[in-house]
Structure 1
């Protein structure tokens, strides 16, 4: 079964902290596109260590706000970096960008509805 874009159990746990959730989503939406570009740049330049570090930090940020599919992509990207497998990292980057688009869409909708 495919994971949800944002974990519903996490959202339920934060139901009484909506202003905080909205701030976290707003920060994610405003800051993460730059990190995604930095990840793409590190991948393009072949800087595996920088790529691994950026994927690791995005993984933590995604996990904090329940964005499990992004977290999983980052973990796979980290593992590809550790293995020095830039071919896999390139494919994972495309998947990560797709999952980030889903996450942004979810967050924009959440912010519009709450």
Structure 2
């Protein structure tokens, strides 16, 4: 059984808690995620494993809070690669994180419509 890109139970819970503010939550998550991805790319470009680990860790948490389990898991893998200063593995993981974020962003934008 594969893990869904977005956990429907988490999304439903967020919607019931946030109600009319849910679209703002989604927009905040998306814009914050874009900034986190920029930080990840910049840390990788600078070969700064510590900054990369921190950026991946931070992104992992926010993805988990939004129910984006696959994306959170990829961020965890990226965090571990950065912890071991394995920039070769990190490069492939960053591409996977970006691809998964594209899917999550598309799904969240559709949920607001």
TM-score, with length taken from structure 1? 0.90
Offset of residue 21 of structure 1 = 3.0
Residue 65 of structure 2 corresponds to residue 64 of structure 1: yes
Aligned residues: 112
Which residue is 1:11 aligned to? 11
CA distance in 1, matches of 2:22, 2:87: 35
TM-score of the superposed pair, with normalisation by structure 2? 0.91
Deviation larger for 10-19 or 60-69:
10-19
Distance 2:30 2:101 in 1: 9
Distance (whole Å) between structure 2 residues aligned to residue 19 and residue 6 of structure 1: 20
| Structure 1: segments with no counterpart, 5+ residues | none
Q: Which runs of 4+ in 1 moved over 6 A?
A: none
Greater Cα shift, 6-15 or 49-58:
6-15
Once the two structures are superposed, the pairs formed by residues 35-114 of structure 1 within 5 Å of their partners are 35-112=36-113
Superposed CA offset, 1:6-42 (max 9, x none): 1012123334233243222110112211210110111
The Cα RMSD (Å) is 1.3
- More divergent stretch after superposition (103-112 vs 31-40): 31-40
